[in-house]
Structure 1
Amino acid sequence: MAAYIVAVAAPVPALRPAVAGAPSCPNAPPAPTAAEFPGCTPVALPREELDDCELRFEYWDAVSETAWVCEPVSPYHESPARCLTGLVTLIARMRGSPIRCFGCMDLLQRDRHGEPWIIMQADESVYLHPGRARLPGPKAMMLGEDDLPDVVLEVDHTTDVRRRKLPQYEWWGFPEVWVEVPDAPSASRPKGRQSGLTIHLLEDGAFRQSPASRAFPGWTAEEIHAALNEAAFSAATSAALERVGRALGQREGTGPDDDPLLRSQRAEARTEARAELARELLVARGIAVGVDFPGVPGFADLPVHAIAAAAAACTSQADFRERLRR
């Protein structure tokens, strides 16, 4: 699923294969095995080299000091996560308050000495309420220090996160994890993996599969999967995003007019609708209308009945404007 990131500064030294007998971390879970990370390569990564490492990996643990690195990223793997960012941005606009996505960041748990113990990298991490959450710092999301993301997305293009990463998310207490298997096929995809999106919700300390999201009320797994894989933005996806955004807004007392961009667009649409109504009324009465019509400040916020009354009583376009100004 994940892969190398090309360094833009000093080149990364060649990494040696992982070896047995690396220093262990007290009370750490057993070191992962190859069976838990199909399609990944174990690479030795000592703890003291973590800060300088520019690898993109699935998992790192202090028991074996090993990073599990997958094949280079492909558009088919990267597209769902990038697409999700755009989708939740549209939901946020409809809700009327921002949602933040942090992409493929480190999710890090320290040991009792404050040293890195376990690191995982998700494909996308979503915070529904960034204004009141303890957000990750510049290096990683720290377990027990930062708030957990409301939703984490894992893209299983060539891997299977159910074997190790999903149980780890459950143990950490992540509230909602989406596992997306893209429609685009892959020769290295584990056998038996069918495309689709699975939603895992944490209840009483354990994950259960759900047909719909809890964080994004009413957004079904089928709708999310379709939106992440469609070549063009569909009417069905648009309707789903609007429905979910409005549901979130009703929960919080916000709406599209609380978003600056949508508020401006909606005001423009109201102006055009009211102007068209007034223009038709004036033309029907034989009154000439100029290209600068209506030309009245705050026209979008005027009551429709006031516009109609002025259009029915005025003797000219100038008189129409004066009546509305009064």
Structure 2
Amino acid sequence: MTMHQSIPPAASHDATKPRAARADFQTQDDKDMLRAARDLTKDLGEAKASIYWPDMLISTAIGYGGIAVAILADNLGVALAAGLIASLALYRSLMFIHELTHIHKNALPGFRLGWNLLVGIPMMAPSFMYEGVHVIHHKRTQYGTIEDPEYLPLALMKPWSLPLFVIVALLAPIAVIVRSAILVPLGLVIPPLRRMVWERASSLSINPDFRRKPATGDFAKQVRFQQLGASIWAIALLLSPLAIGWRPLLIALAIMSFATLLNQLRTLVAHLWENEGEPMTVTAQFLDSVNVPPPGIAAEIWAPVGLRYHALHHLMPSMPYHDLPEAHRRLARELGDGSTYDGANHPGLFNLVGRIARSTMLSR
């Protein structure tokens, strides 16, 4: 068995000592753990089209089918059940945007285009809203700093900030319609508005201080294509009540609001959010991130497409989601309980919410 550094077993669950448990890794890495992550997973890492395509297509079909049933159903119970299924299925489909930011552009021919046509554009969250942005979150010197678009020190903020952070996600479907149907077209004739929309409202980020840099090269072409599709679709949605009434649009918005609420709740527990803006080692970033491994199955619903292994993902960002469970099993078996690796494993959603909430109380 590989020798490794360790942290006290209780450190991953004791909300009173979270920052002290990681202090040793703020300036130096657990090199044994990083070496094990590299050596034990050499045969993994190939994105398999035979898994990606069926997973995305089936999830998307179930999602759109659920929306149709919810709109057409006369029975309230049937409509609610169909809406719930649609929300969960489309949430899973949407989470493939995370995979698109990490897999090599040639790894899955046609998948990026297919996902954008079937999911990204109809949901008004095309892949450009994450590509080129999410990778900053993984940069060694930018994670957890003011330059990180996906980091806020939530555990160090006021207690009321947590429910506000989650509930505001209910407005996301309306916000993306306004963005694509109104702000983007207006930006074509009002350059300052166009610049503001790109810098502040073109990325799926949570840091209000983040400003996106201009797109260049081939990526700029992708942005134009994807944004054109999203704008046409958003305008069509706004005009749809003139032809079919408000019921279909309102039901679809409610379904998507629940999906975005669930994603925001997942985001809330994806990290411990205890960094105060200083650069962190890879190990410290790992311990500030969260795995919710088996045996529980609930995490497969609220953290789909490999996101239940979010800490492991920060160790190996390019590892495809379908290989993360096996990578976790190997590392957990090799490094064992009480190891640094074990320090990022947590029992479940409610435990994590409670921990972060308690941290906000202690930080006042």
Output the TM-score relative to the length of structure 1: 0.22
| Greater helix fraction, Structure 1 or Structure 2 | 2
Bigger radius of gyration, 1 or 2?
1
Output the TM-score relative to the length of structure 2: 0.20
Q: Which of structures 1 and 2 has the larger relative contact order (alpha carbons within 8 angstroms, sep 6+)?
A: 2
